[in-house]
Structures are given as structure tokens and as C-alpha cells.
Amino acid sequence: MSHLISKVFTPSTLDLSKTHDESRQGAAFQPEENLSGTTPTRSAYIETYGCQMNFSDTEIIASMLKDMGFGFTKDETTADLVLLNTCSIRENAESKIWNRLKHLKARKAQNPAMLVGIMGCMAERLKSKLIEQEQLVDIVVGPDAYRDLPRLIEEAGDGQKAVNVLLSREETYSDIAPIRLNTNGVTAFISIMRGCDNMCSFCVVPFTRGRERSRDFNSIVQEAQSLFEQGYREVTLLGQNVDSYHFEDCSFAGLLEKVANINPLLRVRFSTSHPKDITDEVLETMARYHNICKFIHLPAQSGNSRILELMNRGYSREWYLEKVNRIRHYMPDCAISTDIITGFCSETEEEHQDTLSLINEVQYDAAFSFFYSERPGTLAARKYPDDVPEEIKKRRLAEVIELMNVLSRQSNLREVGKTFEVLIEGNSKKSDQDWCGRNSQNKMVVFPKGDAALKPGDFVQVTISSATTATLLGQIEK
Ligand code: 5AD
Ligand code: SF4
């Protein structure tokens, strides 16, 4: 997908289908009101890059800053503290952040009292290099060290180097109530686990986010319950690999059931599933609950078994296709999306064709595709030469995107004439005469408002009359 730069983070414009996407870059959240209740003595400006997990972390960090007496500003030039929550998943994700840091360094030269902090995956990957060699920032905080922010901010204020990139085996921030940022008041993310133990050979995440750990289900259910009571009608359970969630004797299927049981009017989504870990028990639970959305983001990465082996994905093409069959067996109406990497180490033209044929065979509803970007320290970087030339990687990527555009359009056109339950999220981007919201399959639906009594958070039945590649258009069923 294209690398957009969005200025302001509005959850309603985010695609909920995936946990990793550095394309939604540079989203600055700045609540209008003073969140601290009392008059804040200092102001913070936060910018978030990367995946939904990072956006969710920013909500936790904002909560901590509020407790420290920070207010929030939309204007970086007036901030006492500028924080970037960063992503390392691909090289271009990092290069955008380097540029931002250079810009901030110039600003700091004019305003030396301003503190600049880098958080998240890039902080973890580059550690004190960011302070020592580059002297671009005052504070470096890894994803498991946010509780240390008060000390680090104080130290940096005293002119000391403030770095904490310790990873933890336990930290889940489960006791911290996130501040919902730029919220539409209808949909929210809940982080259910942190880290990743999978070791896909291309991926930097196990190094930046550490070992996998699951959050206590009691705190997850409480958070979802409290969101429901505040009027939210959809929660997305987030983790790098939600299907390996386990806390005491509660599996991911058990957790889904607990959250779904809070209220039939609370929709439940989740992201991301690893094909090797999603169980029949999860599929059966999804099928049983109307309010668990019929949508699975099931990254394939490649359609060729040799490449999948090199990627250390733990499944073959055939095994993946069998998993797709299981999903369709339990839920014939379930939408499936995927992530694809083109031009992984040693990928031949024939093997790339296997990816295209897999996409055709599964008939995905949506896909996020990327060309391979070698990440230092990963298994692939250590073991396999990055030997597919960039123009070939990009040409293969263009072929994947072209095919997916055709399939997404076809998938949307198949919905014309059908009626869906849609959760209203707010005004459509183009007109305040239209609502927009998603159906269970995560497709965006736009329709005229009609009945004046309707409001965001309501469920309506919408019959689809036409479709584009990205959106379904319809009318409320009378
Ligand atoms: N290069 C390109 N894409 C990558 N992804 C993860 N690591 C890399 C990399 N080194 C993609 C995968 C993953 C998604 C979040 O990002 O497709 O599922
Ligand atoms: Fe999210 Fe970090 Fe992965 Fe980027 S590298 S997508 S921020 S977990």
C-alpha cells in the first residue's frame, strides 16, 4: 500500500486489519482539552509512527504524562517535550524518522530548553547511539520502559543522558488506563499482549519488542467493559500474535468469549493472527458469537513453500490453504486479508508467481504488501544475501498491488444487493450528509443519514447499491 503521511490520527480513518503498518506515519495526537484536570505546568507533543500497537502504546504514555502534570499541545513549537513513538519494521519507516529528528534538532538549536525523546522500536534498536553518536535526542525509551519516563524526563531536564531500553518478560502496562486519543467514541484498541516469540527471519520485532507475554484477562475484560459503559461499541484486541495469547488457563478463544460476553452490542475484532497458531477453537468461537467480527488478518508473506521455509514461518503453501479452508468451513462469510513481502532473499520469478497464484486462489478481501527490506540483526540479515535487485522487488510489488486492486474491487462488487449490519463511526470523509461505518467483514460502508435520530455508535442495516475498490455505498434498510 502507498506510504501516506497522515497529520492527525483519527481511528475512523485507520484500517483495522493489521498490527503492523508504518505507512500511517506521523500521526500527531493533540487533544483539544487539557487532559490533566489541573492547570498543567508543562506541555507535551507526541507523534506516533507505525503499527496499531504503537498507537495503543502512545495512549498509555499519554496517561503517564498526564499523571506527571503534562498538558498536551498540537503545536510542536510551543512544546516543552516532543516525543516520537517510532517504528523500525522497514528501512523507509526509519528514514522518515531520521528526517524528523534532524528537523527537531534544528528547532532545538533555537529553543534549547525543549526536550526531544524517542520511544518505541527505533529507540530499542538504536539505543544510546541516538544520544551519543548523533546527539539528536535527549531521551531514549524502549517499549518496555515507559514507566521510567518520569525519571528520564527529570534526568534529561538536568542535562543528563536519559536512556532506558531494558526489555522485560513481564511488563504489560495492565494497570494503566490509556487515554483515548482523537477518539471517535465508538471504536478503541485494547492491547492484550506484548512482544513476539516467532522469529520470522525477516522481522525486527522480536528484537525491538522482546519476548511474548500476555496481559491478565481480568484487566482486559475490565477495560472492554469500561469502554462499553462509556459508549464504545467496538474493541480491537491487539497483539503481534494474538492466537498465542494465554494467561493462566485462558487461551485466546477463551479471551474472545469473555470479551464477547460483555454485551451483544459490543463488537470484538482482533489483530494479528499467525496462520500457524489460529486454532479451530478460535474459529468455532468466532462463528458462535454474532458480535465477534467475521474478519481475519492472516498474513501469508509468500505463496511459495521454499520461501516460507527461509522466512521461518512454520507452514507451507498447502498448509496455509488448508487453514483458509478451515476458516471458510466455520464461517463462509468471513473476510480474509493478508500481508505479502516481495523479493525476499533468493526469491525467483517462479516463486513470485506462486505468491500471485496464492492471492488468486484465496481471493483475499484486502492485502498489505511490501518489498523486502533487510533489517540489521535479523536471522535473514545474518544468513541470507539480500540478492533480489530493488527494481525487481518493486516490480513484483506492483504486480501484487495490481492483482489485489482487481480482487478488492471484485470482492466489493460481490456485496452489491446484500444487506449488512453497520456500526456508525461518524460522518463520511466526503460529506456530513453521509454516515460511514464498517460491516462485520471490516468493509467501509458509506450511506445517506436519513433518520435524524441516528448517531455514531448505533447499528443500522444497510443495503449495498454500488462499490468502489475501497468502499461500499448503500442505503439504510427501512
Ligand atoms: N521487509 C518488508 N516487510 C516486512 N514486514 C515485516 N518485516 C519486513 C521486512 N523486513 C512486513 C510483513 C509483516 C508486516 C507487518 O510487515 O509482511 O506481516
Ligand atoms: Fe510496530 Fe515496532 Fe513493528 Fe513498527 S517495528 S510495526 S512499531 S512493532
Q: What is the pLDDT along the chain (478 residues), one digit of tens a residue?
A: 222 222 222 222 222 223 344 333 344 444 444 444 557 789 999 999 999 999 999 999 999 999 999 999 989 999 999 999 999 999 999 999 999 999 999 998 889 999 999 999 999 999 888 888 778 899 999 999 999 999 999 999 998 889 999 999 999 999 999 999 889 999 999 999 999 999 999 999 999 999 999 999 999 999 999 999 999 999 999 999 999 999 999 999 999 999 999 999 999 999 999 999 999 999 999 999 999 999 999 999 999 999 999 999 999 999 999 999 999 999 999 999 999 999 999 999 999 999 999 999 999 999 999 999 999 999 999 999 999 999 999 999 999 999 999 999 999 999 999 999 999 999 999 999 999 999 999 999 999 998 779 999 999 999 999 999 899 999 999 7
Q: Which CATH number fits the domain 12-164, given the four candidates 3.40.50.720, 2.60.120.1360, 3.40.50.12160, 3.30.428.10? A: 3.40.50.12160
Going from the C-alpha of 237 to that of each of 241, 293, 363, the distances in angstroms are: 11, 12, 25
Which is the closest atom of ligand 1 to the Cα of 21?
15
The alpha-helical segments, DSSP class H, found in 25-119 are 52-67, 91-110
Who's near 99: CB < 8 A, 6+ residues apart?
none
Cell of 384: 541470507
Cell of 387: 540478492
SS3 state at 147: helix
SS3 state at 253: helix
Cα(450)–Cα(410) distance, integer angstroms = 28
Cα(60)–Cα(47) distance, integer angstroms = 14
Instruction: Report whether residue 299 contacts ligand 1, using a CB cutoff of 6 Å.
Output: yes
Q: Where in the chain is the domain with CATH 3.80.30.20?
A: 187-413
Taking each helix axis from N to C end, the angle separating 390-413 and 349-362, rounded to the nearest 10 degrees, works out to 10
pLDDT at site 214: 98
Residue whose entry in the numeric block shows the C-alpha cell 433518520: 451
Instruction: Report whether residue 196 contacts ligand 2, using a CB cutoff of 6 Å.
Output: no
pLDDT at site 478: 78
**One-character DSSP codes across 165-222:** ----SS---TT--PPPPS--SSEEEEE-EE------TT--HHHHH-S-EEPPHHHHHH
Which is the closest atom of ligand 2 to the Cα of 52?
1
Q: Which ligand is nearest to the CA of 370?
A: 1
Most distant CA atoms of the chain, gap in Å = 65
pLDDT at site 212: 96
pLDDT at site 38: 59
Cα(50) to ligand 2 centroid in Å equals 6
Cα(107)–Cα(97) distance, integer angstroms = 15
Q: Which CATH number fits the domain 187-413, given the four candidates 3.40.50.300, 3.80.30.20, 3.30.930.10, 2.30.40.10? A: 3.80.30.20
pLDDT at site 359: 98
430-435 long-range contacts (CB < 8 A, ≥24 apart) are 435/460
User: Phi/psi zone of residue 106: left (φ > 0), alpha (ψ -120 to 50 degrees), beta?
Assistant: alpha
Instruction: Report whether residue 373 contacts ligand 1, using a CB cutoff of 6 Å.
Output: yes
Instruction: Report whether residue 274 contacts ligand 2, using a CB cutoff of 6 Å.
Output: no
What pairs with residue 368 in β-bridges?
Answer: 339
Q: Where in the chain is the domain with CATH 3.40.50.12160?
A: 12-164
pLDDT at site 22: 39
Q: Which backbone phi and psi does 95 adopt, to 5 degrees?
A: -65, -30
Reported pTM? 0.92
Among protein residues, the one with the nearest Cα to ligand 1's atom 15 is: 20
pLDDT at site 234: 98
For 419-476, which CATH superfamily applies? Nucleic acid-binding proteins (2.40.50.140)
Indicate the helix (H) or strand (E) that contains 307.
helix 305-310
Q: Where in the chain is the domain with CATH 2.40.50.140?
A: 419-476
Instruction: Report whether residue 136 contacts ligand 2, using a CB cutoff of 6 Å.
Output: no
The one-letter code for the residue type at 102 is K
pLDDT at site 280: 97
